[in-house]
A = this chain, B = another copy of it.
Amino acid sequence: MLIVAERINASRKAIRAALERLDTAAIVNEVRIQAQAGAHYIDLNGGTFPGRETELLCWLVDTAQAETDLPLCIDSPDPDALAAALPRVRGERPMINSINLEPERFARVLPLAREHNAKLIALAQGEGVPAASAAEKVDLASLLVERLLAAGMVLDDIYVDPLVFPVGTDSASGLATVSAMREIMARFPGVHTICGLTNVSHGLPARKLVNRTFLAGAIANGMDAAIIDPTDTQLMATLYAAEAVFGRDEYCVNFIEAFQAGKLV
């Protein structure tokens, strides 16, 4: 299970404040606690500060990789910011979060991924209304994967995100999303699926419970990567348990080790 650590995101108040002050220590601390908690990638999202997106994303890249050797997930809807930040990445291959089927974004982001040998988070999203049903998600994702393959990307570098919507307003979205994951992975053996969990619980109480329950169901349908907060111990306990119970942890060795390390509380 590939863990993309989500905490350095300008949608969080503390990160927004850190960005406004260029607070290196705050960002370094977020990198450190996520790395210690088991992150495989550190997502860097500099938000939408008018006119400063490029500067802040580049600052995040420099700040994060001064602290860690973990690979980075460069997270921006703005191709200009991606184009500026990616050349600064040293060490392991980065991931780009994200590409979709919007013509301009597709046309700008794909060459960046090719040039910087980056993995890609591919959203099942076109120009119109977002895909709601499992079939629509599979159709859009398939179109996107086929275009990426035609452009020379390989399946192992593609992480499809079917985009889950809040179940408080769209009750069918959770099942549609995990069903789409299963179908996409069956249609393109070797492709990965990924999801940001938190949107699913938007507007509900007990959000962490909802998020980790969704995680378990997604893993039970094949999802093999997730954009999560690895410092959430109950979420990580569910992740360890889901890997053990759904065939990703032979003889439950990792699960038992996590238990012995006191991580399953």
Query: Which residues from chain B contact A250 at a C-beta distance below 8 Å?
Result: 171
Measured CB to CB, the nearest residue on chain B to A245 is B174
Whether A210 and B169, one on each chain, are in contact in the complex, defined by CB atoms closer than 8 angstroms, is no
Shortest beta-carbon distance, A236 to chain B, in Å? 11
A238 contacts B220, C-beta separation under 8 Å: no
Selected contact of A247 from candidates B168, B171, B213, B264, CB within 8 Å: B171
A171 touches B209 (CB 8 A): no
Q: Which chain B residues border A168 with CB–CB below 8 Å?
A: 251-252
Task: Flag the segment in A16-24, A142-150, A198-206 that touches B.
Answer: A198-206
- A221 at interface by CB-CB < 8 Å: yes
Cβ–Cβ contact A167 & B204, under 8 A: no
Q: How far is the CB of A251 from chain B (nearest CB, A)?
A: 6
What are the residues of chain B within 8 A of A251 when measuring CB–CB? 168-169, 171
Q: Is the CB of B216 within 8 A of A237?
A: no
Q: Is the CB of A255 within 8 A of B204?
A: yes
Q: Given the complex of chains A and B, what is the CA–CA distance between A168 and B175 in angstroms? A: 28
Q: Are A252 and B171 in contact (CB under 8 A)?
A: yes
CB proximity of A183 to chain B, nearest CB, Å: 12
Interface string of A170-195 (1 = CB under 8 A from B): 01101110100000000000000000
Check if A244 sits within 8 Å of B205, measured CB to CB. no
Q: Are A246 and B264 in contact (CB under 8 A)?
A: no
Check A49 for interface membership: any CB of B closer than 8 A: no
Q: A217-B219, A220-B175 are in contact. Are A244 and B169 (CB under 8 A)?
A: no
Decide if A241 is an interface residue (CB 8 Å cutoff). yes
A28 at the interface (CB under 8 A from B): no
What are 29 inter-chain pairs, A to B, with CB distance below 8 A? A167-B244, A167-B245, A167-B252, A171-B244, A171-B247, A171-B249, A171-B251, A172-B247, A174-B245, A174-B246, A175-B246, A200-B245, A201-B245, A204-B256, A205-B256, A205-B264, A206-B237, A206-B255, A206-B264, A209-B238, A209-B264, A210-B241, A210-B245, A213-B241, A213-B245, A214-B245, A217-B221, A220-B220, A220-B221
A-to-B contact residues, CB < 8 Å:
167-169, 171-172, 174-176, 178, 200-201, 204-206, 209-210, 213-214, 216-221, 237-238, 241-242, 244-247, 249-252, 255-256, 259, 264
